[in-house]
Amino acid sequence: MTEPTVLISRAGRAGHIVLNRPKAINALTHEMVTLIQAALDSWASDPSVQTVVLTGSGERGLCAGGDIVSIYQDGLAGGTASAEFWAAEYRLDATIAEYPKPFVAIMDGIVLGGGIGLSAHAGVRVVTERSKIGMPETGIGFFPDVGGTYLLSRAPGELGTHLALTAGSVRAGDAIAVGLADWYVLSDRLPALITSLASIAPAEALAAVASEAPASGLLADREWIDAAYEGDDVVKILARLMGSEVAAARSTAEVLASKSPTSVKVTLRALREAADLPSLREALDQEYRLALRFHGSHDFLEGVRAQLIDKDRNPRWSPSHLDDVDESVVASYFTGR
């Protein structure tokens, strides 16, 4: 028999949600979103459930993001399944952010894209020495969605801008520093944590197992990152990186130049606008409009082809350079025209 894609269970005072597609690093499907939403809706008014815990099955990670191949196939066909998925997914992300009970997300291993939507909006976010957290979207011709623009626009200085534009990923110390996580727990202590959450409150359970987080390399690099990424012009940002006296900045310029030029420009504007939005829900509304515009676009289909279908890692972006992306095209992503 086929295993359920989400396992829902109870242990004492805790409701436990387990993403259960380990071969796909628990990549998120519409069915999974629906099952999680139903569990959360039920538990919200159940006084016997005082804490919700989210984990992923297997050893590789919590969640590698949305099922991008299915979204790609839907985009090729001009379908509407992706629009329905994003609407449900973003609604779930908002539910998690506003949940009336402690929601403990165990961000062990790989946590990318849609996995961040499920975990980084939680009230209690736990990372480990195995955590690798990122929003890789500009590398596939997309943008940081699932509330990514809201979260990254609120990171210290321009650290979020740096991660968003370069499709960067971070380890535990950096994740805590940029506001994507709260607690550091060694992976071999996770079973004890999950067991204790069945009987005691999250703060007490975490105090017994948490360790001091590793230092953040990103915070140490803030001076050159903040200087390079200020403003609203990606072409100028790239020029500053290329001309920097800091070797890491010049290396970053090569990374940035390899991403979809259209995605990078749209992402920067989305970040700047999200920074002024008063709530996650408003940011998700903007992201939904952007997702629909990206779906079926040349760079999204080409980026997924290069990274996940043919795996030649050689996307042919159009336009291929930042200078060639017309600002009216960028504006069209936000106006729907």
pLDDT 10s digits, 294-333: 998 999 999 999 999 999 999 999 999 999 999 999 999 9
Residue 216 pLDDT > 90: yes
Q: Which residues pair with 63 in a beta bridge?
A: 111
Residue 236 pLDDT > 90: yes
Supply the pLDDT for residue 10.
97
Burial of 33: CB neighbours in 10 Å, binned 0-12, 13-18, 19+: buried
pLDDT 10s digits, 1-17: 689 999 999 999 999 99
Residues marked active site are found at 66, 114, 137, 145
Residue 336 pLDDT > 90: no
Residue 54 in tokens: 């989210």
Supply the pLDDT for residue 1.
65
